[in-house]
A and B are shown apart, each in its own frame.
Chain A
Amino acid sequence: MRIDWWTLALQTANVLILIWLLARFLFRPVAEIVARRQDEANKLLADAAKVQRQADNARAGLEQARADIVAGRDKLIADAHAAAEIERLALLARTNEEMTRLRAEAEAAISRDRVAMEKLLIDRASELAVEIARRLLSRGAPAGSVDVFLAELCQQVRASSPQERAAFTREGDGSVEILTAAPLSPEAAERARGAIAEALGGKPVLVFRSDPAVIAGIELHSRYAVMRNSWRNDLERIREELNRADEPAKPS
């Protein structure tokens, strides 16, 4: 066996050169492209992760905004409910107050109407009663009873004050009418003139006049004063008393 040393050396050099050449033209480019792909894949993954994070952040923001909107809506609804409740209560209070006021006014008006109606009825009743009494008394009034009325009238005149009596007796003030329900007989008229003149004092001018409205009794009328003792007067006083008696019944 013989070794060709030149061939050995050349083959060694050839393989070494081939190692260098393949490293230069095959292995290194492939390794670089693989590394570049790896880098791009890593970059792509990093970008995807970044986009994922951004999407997550955006989604979290949207969810937060939605939660805020829901919370705001709930708050608005609650506020609206509260305002509506307050308004309802206020309206109810105003309505109650108005109703109370209206009811009070209605009750007051009803009471006033009732009182007025009662007063009217009483007045009518009084007038009716007085009218009935007047008619009844005018039918059966005794003519001779004027002496009783005359005595009481004279007593009333004497009990009055001098100023009141002077209103009948002053000169220049005209005559004093002696008013009766029916004309008096001459004797009765003379008795009446004497009694009245004596009761009034002085020298009054006495004139007799009859008026059925007097019903019964006798009345004195001058320009400034009136003094009565007649059933008409009594009935008037009774009616006034009846009306006054009704006053305390008015509601406060």
Chain B
Amino acid sequence: MIGSPLTSKTVFMLGPVPITATVVVTWGLMAALVLGGFLATRSLKVRPTRGQAALELVVAAIEGQIRDTMGVSPEPYLPLIGTLFLFILAANWSSLIPGIEPPTGRLETDAALALIVFFAVIYFGIRARGLVGYLKTFAEPTFFMIPLNVVETFTRTFSLIVRLFGNVMSGAFIIAIILSLAGLLVPIPFMGIELLIGAIQAYIFTVLAMVFIGSAVRESGPAGSEERTEP
């Protein structure tokens, strides 16, 4: 059962730091992802097994998405984008485990993800175009657009937070309400829908992060005109 979406329940205190259930679940997800990644990559071979082929297919799909969306070589962005997608997907789907509150259904987690994307845009933008070059992007297409572009930088980050938070939190809420009203089996179709929504939200968040980073690192002009590497 989920409580108020706007408050976090403290599980224990680590000195002065309150450790909430969201953080604990996140740690569990992190452990699962890292352990799964470690186990999956422990014995990689040049001649792949079926499981390795599936893993490489997932990674290749993420790389292809980065290449298609950002129009740049995917290697520098793969850890960030891939981790965002896998973590959000795992977090969204964790709501299906009874008694687990999805971390992405908490505002702090979504804000943390959006903050990371916010600073990643700045970092990759400066790295790709230099400080002056990155700052010049705020004057595009004209000098008078600077205020709007600055505001957009913050608002789109805020939109990331709100979109993910609203969708995941509402989905978890709906399942909880229906479960409390209709019994055990009725929420199952809604849980299926929640699976789909969780995957879609993970995909949307990741694609938007790629779009924001791509707009910062890519020179003006047709998308994919630079740094594109053919598969």
Contacts and interface: CB of A to CB of B under 8 A. Distances in A.
Interface in B16-43: 17-20, 22-23, 26-27, 30, 33-34, 37-38, 40-41
Nearest to A9: B112
B38 A11 contact: no
A125 interface: no
Name the residue in B7, B46, B60 with the highest tally of chain A Cβ atoms < 10 Å from its Cβ.
B46
A16 B45 CA distance: 29
Contacts of A51: none
A1 B6 contact: yes
Contact of A36 (B18, B26, B37, B46): B46
Contacts of B44: 29-30, 32-33
Interface in B23-82: 23, 26-27, 30, 33-34, 37-38, 40-41, 44-46, 48, 52, 55-56, 59-60, 75, 78-80, 82
Interface string A17-34: 111111101111111111
Contact of A19 (B20, B79, B109): B79
Contact of B108 (A8, A25, A26, A31): A8
Contacts of B46: 33, 36-37, 40
Contact of A12 (B41, B84, B112): B112
A139 interface: no
B40 A4 contact: no
Contacts of B86: 22
B112 A8 contact: yes
Nearest to A35: B75
Given A7-B108, A25-B37, A29-B41, A12 B115 contact: yes
B34 A18 contact: yes
Contact of A7 (B8, B41, B48, B113): B8
A4 B33 contact: no
Contacts, number: 122
Contacts of B33: 18, 21-22, 26
Interface in A186-224: none
A11 B22 contact: yes
Nearest to B113: A15
A21 B38 CA distance: 9
Nearest to B62: A27
B30 A23 contact: no
Contact of A27 (B38, B48, B52, B59): B59
B204 interface: no
Contacts of A34: 56, 59-60
B126 interface: no
Contacts of A36: 46
A31 B41 CA distance: 11
B40 A12 contact: no
A25 B38 contact: yes
Given A7-B23, A22-B33, A36-B46, A15 B83 contact: yes
A52 interface: no
B59 A25 contact: no
A42 interface: no
A23 B84 CA distance: 12
Contacts of B41: 25-26, 29-30, 33
Contact of A17 (B20, B30, B59): B30
B109 to A, nearest CB: 5
Contact of B22 (A7, A16, A19, A25): A7
B55 A30 contact: yes
5 contacts: A4-B18, A9-B112, A11-B23, A18-B30, A32-B44
Given A11-B23, A30-B44, 16 more contacts: A1-B107, A4-B8, A6-B17, A11-B26, A15-B83, A15-B112, A15-B113, A17-B30, A19-B83, A21-B30, A22-B34, A23-B79, A29-B44, A30-B59, A33-B48, A33-B52
